Structure 1
Amino acid sequence: MALPPEQMPLLQSDSNGYQNDIIMATTDENPEITMPNEAGDVAGNIDQDEARRILRRIDWRIMPLLFVAYMLNFMDKTILSSASVFGLREDTHLKGTQYSWVSSVFYFGYFIWAYPTTLLIARLPVAKYLAGNTFIWGAVVAFTAACANYGGLITVRFFLGVAEATVSPALMFITCTWYTRDEIPIRTGIWFAGNSVGGIISSLLAYGIGHITHSISPWRWMFIILGVATFLLGFGLLFLLPDSISSAKFLTPRERQWAGDRVVIAGTGRTENAGWKWEQMVECLQDPKTWLIWSLALLCQIPNGGTQNFANLVITSFGFTSLQSTLINIPYSCISIAAISGTGWLAGHFRSLNCILIGLIVVPPVVGSALIGSRSSIPHGVSLFGYFLLSTGPAALPLLLSLVQSNYRGVTKKMTMTGMLFIAYCTGNIVGPQLFISAEEPTYATAFRAIMICYALVVCLVAILRVYLQLVNRRRQLEEGMEGNAGTSGTVGGGKVVDITNDLNVNVVVNEVRLRPEDYEDVTDWKTLGFRYRL
């Protein structure tokens, strides 16, 4: 609801860049009061040096745990590809399309649990819930080593999907709980890079274990070692990861209040004590950007589902040995790390680049899949170069995750979108392996033709999404009579609108703006005055 003209907040920055001023409009009708936290504390003035120290302390506590969790999440899921060339298919007597179904069934389990777990993440202590899932997840990975047939593999892979369905939504929830809209893309890029680091470590692990000559096959050792490592991670999450800002014992009460206020002012709202609101769920389903992002996630994950499970089989078809195929994936993972980290940094520093980066990052895979699809008429070296071009494709998903975290307000709306995003993720990863038809081995012409088409469609859809968000920002600017800002939570402090320019500027705003009780309410982006979408 718009304010009367005499109370209309002022704001000079727009969603496409940063300005230099902090502009606030106050009224006598809206007295400034400080909203204390649950312990009755207020933040007071915290200078820039202290703000840097607090943020650094938060980063060192939160980021390593999220990074390791996502790294093991990737390794436990994709070690199947390495295991496939070290005797798994022979020892479990897989035939025909059975390996493809072993790859896909993981995502059936993930699909079934993806939405229910987002409801639980928002309602339960998130760190304890994530830790409990991690114990189960580690045990299931280790039990994979005991499988002796197709039925056993199908069963454990299904339950692995159920166990891992909590990881990505929980990490997204934690990130938007602790960080501002400008910080979310960078922090998401950091923990998502665990994906590619996990690819390097799993390749080195597979290479080392591949030399083992023992009664227990090398592929079984891979699952045992990773299962134990994941189980131990559960203890780290249980004892080191706080459930919320207000329960973070590594911060003082004053620092907790400061950390909470900065997210209320420059994040996507407070996530604590927010009940499930069905009207927010309906709003999410009615939001056009929901379906554009959902479609983008689906198109990005169809290629991912196939390449991550068939990578080693494709590389060995270029004439490399099983051991060599594990090492060749290392430069592939290094390129992915650079793409994920670099695009995350750019998206965090430039509010109008997110969609453009998604479009640019999938162009190399379009070329790469075209080269691999033409492998019968080109040298193996060129086909291998095409395979490396596929490595930038995984950077599209963290950029999509950042769009969801930064552009959705309201806990229920955001978690509904998160659940839908990972349903699309599962669907794409179920479809992807089925495109690698065993009769076409080792060229897999159908699969690489489909990968090329999917990424080409991503370029088209992300352009539509960007134009749509621009039009919505322009319409809201005209309706509300203010320019708005893509770095803030909207209007706060009884009619004040703040212009966030960078991380340090956030602290100035926290010290200047006196938050009111209603600023802590769980409100969606549609109903937040001054909220503008990142492009």
Structure 2
Amino acid sequence: MAETGISEQKHQHSEFQLADIIDLQPTDEEYAKLLRKIDFVLMPVMCACYMLQLLDKLTLNFSSQLGLIQDLNLHGSQYSWCSSVFYFGYLFWTWPSSWLVVRLPLGKYIAGTFFLWGAVLMCHGACRSFGALMAARFFLGVSEAAVAPGFSLIVGMFYKRDEHPLRQGIWFAGNCIANTFGGLVCYGIGHIRAPLASWRMLFLILGGVTVAYSTVLWLFLPDSPTKAQFLNEREKKLSVLRTLKDSSSAMDENEFKKYQVLEALGDPQAWLLALYTFSVNICNGGITTFSGILISGFGFGSLETLLLQIPVGGCQLAVLAIMAVTASRFGFSRLLLMACTCALSLVGMVLVYALNHDEPYGRLTGTYLAAVFASNTPMSLSLIASNVGGFTKKATVNAMLFVAYSTGNIVGPQLYLGTQAPSYTTGVRSTISGFCLGIFFLGILLVYYVLENQERAKQGDPETEAGAEEDILQTSIHNTDKGNLKFRYVF
């Protein structure tokens, strides 16, 4: 009875909010102005945050070229484990984080974990043993678990479904920017004359910048449309209204719904996305950690290797821009674009595997192509934001995706066997297999979406025109995609 009373109160609260906004009649120009204002605040803040986070994550790869392995006397598979333990930490905290992002103010939670991320990164600079580095890497993974899933939820709250691919792509572009300029940053730090080793300076400087930027997130990253300080009262109401009309469940806040967790765990699309993510991140775990070592194995020097990693980000950024714009213009193209990107990366890894050691530039080109699959990550998140209804269910499916992401990244580096350096034959073969499996699971997901939409068309009426009052009421009751027959999956 007590639970029923709480549920009724929350439902009455939702109806009050609906009554407050249902009579608003905004013009198209007013909506466009609102969208520009949201973009102007959210996109730069999120993009810069993700750029810093990826740059911080790459520090282990860069530090391997600045003397970390020698100074800490890492041998055998110890360097591989320093990469994998990061994702053990990520995996450990993914499920608790999926609960906290629903229960706590989302923007403040992300800002707090980002502060901890920077502090833990600075602790790397004090490590003097393999054990200390392992502990630091584990807690770095714990502190990262909130950012990407949290950003995906924010995009789902503030943007309509056809706006998701471009916006997910914009903040994820920070990843590509970090890959582009990270090598230059680390090259510069590597030339600093200081009592501390260059790799220690790397961790201290980048960690300090991250700690400072957490204050920007605390001030400007909103918890929800109704709590966005950069919007006035009318703009807050319009922001909620436009996403409610689009089945975004923006009013489903701060209530963790167990039935949505169970529904997510039984949803085929969630498992297919998770299997795809695991498959391709076998490559990510290896490339992120071993790209510098692979490139130096082609015959290049340490500092030269840092500079040669710059084009990786440029390739990713170019592919990401093409994907985001194409998916925004052609709503049916998301899965097709993801499959094409996986195929391009597959070709790259085949080049690395098949070319002889006396063809370093061909193999170097292969490593650049292999990295472009990372541009699929925002597209995967856009599928969750667009195709999963219910705030708790979105958070749960995001958690499933990042559990698979962590698992793939744990497995990947372990397949780069120290006895096979510098070619790492087993690791390269595993990435080729992972891309093939990723394309397979994307194909199955496409078939599932098509069949599910056809079945829904048979069971109920086609989607009514967006803006009809009955549709707004239906989405405001926090239906999931399974509970709303008017819902159509986009792919």
Whether TM exceeds 0.5 here: the answer is yes
2:26 alignment counterpart: 46
Deviation track 1:316-370 (CA, whole Å, cap 9, x = no partner) reads: 1111111111111111110101112221222222221111111100112111111
Supply the distance in 1 between the matched residues of 2:79 and 2:23 (Cα, whole angstroms).
56
Shift of the alpha carbon at 1:514?
Answer: 7.8
Q: Aligned pair 1:164/2:144, yes or no? A: yes
Q: Aligned pair 1:253/2:233, yes or no? A: yes
Q: Aligned pair 1:527/2:483, yes or no? A: yes
Q: Aligned pair 1:479/2:479, yes or no? A: no
Map of 1:102-501 to 2, 5 A cutoff?
A: 102-376=82-356, 379-482=359-462, 484=463, 497-498=464-465
Q: Aligned pair 1:81/2:61, yes or no? A: yes
Q: Report the RMSD for the aligned CA atoms in angstroms.
A: 1.8
Q: Aligned residues: percent identity?
A: 37
Supply the distance in 2 between the matched residues of 1:193 and 1:122 (Cα, whole angstroms).
26
TM-score normalised by structure 2 residue count: 0.94
Which structure exhibits the higher relative contact order, with contacts defined as CA atoms closer than 8 Å and separated by 6 or more residues?
A: 1
Supply the distance in 2 between the matched residues of 1:38 and 1:478 (Cα, whole angstroms).
30
Give yes or no for contact 1:38–1:246 (8 Å, CA) kept in 2. Answer: no
Consecutive unaligned residues of structure 1, counting only runs of 5 or more, are 1-33, 485-496, 500-508
TM-score normalised by structure 1 residue count: 0.86
Amino acid in the other structure paired with 2:481: D
Supply the distance in 1 between the matched residues of 2:486 and 2:169 (Cα, whole angstroms).
27
Supply the distance in 2 between the matched residues of 1:214 and 1:241 (Cα, whole angstroms).
36
Shift of the alpha carbon at 1:292?
Answer: 0.8
> Quick check: 305-314 or 41-50, which moved more?
41-50
Supply the distance in 2 between the matched residues of 1:285 and 1:519 (Cα, whole angstroms).
21
Deviation track 1:213-258 (CA, whole Å, cap 9, x = no partner) reads: 3221111111111111111111111111221111122212111111
Shift of the alpha carbon at 1:517?
Answer: 4.9
Shift of the alpha carbon at 1:173?
Answer: 1.1
Shift of the alpha carbon at 1:122?
Answer: 1.0
Supply the distance in 1 between the matched residues of 2:107 and 2:293 (Cα, whole angstroms).
37
Higher share in helix: 2
Shift of the alpha carbon at 1:481?
Answer: 3.4
Change (3 A) 1:254 1:48: same
Amino acid in the other structure paired with 1:520: S
Amino acid in the other structure paired with 2:306: T
Give yes or no for contact 1:35–1:42 (8 Å, CA) kept in 2. Answer: no
Task: Give the number of equivalent residue pairs.
Answer: 478
The alignment partner of 1:525 has SS state of coil
Amino acid in the other structure paired with 2:220: L
Supply the distance in 2 between the matched residues of 1:99 and 1:348 (Cα, whole angstroms).
41
Give yes or no for contact 1:176–1:405 (8 Å, CA) kept in 2. Answer: yes
The alignment partner of 2:433 has SS state of helix
Consecutive unaligned residues of structure 2, counting only runs of 5 or more, are 1-13
Give yes or no for contact 2:251–2:476 (8 Å, CA) kept in 1. Answer: no
Amino acid in the other structure paired with 1:522: H
Supply the distance in 2 between the matched residues of 1:242 and 1:279 (Cα, whole angstroms).
27
1:65 alignment counterpart: 45
Structure ID, larger Rg: 1
Change (3 A) 1:337 1:134: same
Amino acid in the other structure paired with 1:527: G
> Quick check: 512-521 or 47-56, which moved more?
512-521
Give yes or no for contact 2:247–2:475 (8 Å, CA) kept in 1. Answer: no
Change (3 A) 1:513 1:78: same
Supply the distance in 2 between the matched residues of 1:52 and 1:278 (Cα, whole angstroms).
36
Give yes or no for contact 1:107–1:429 (8 Å, CA) kept in 2. Answer: yes
Supply the distance in 2 between the matched residues of 1:302 and 1:399 (Cα, whole angstroms).
18
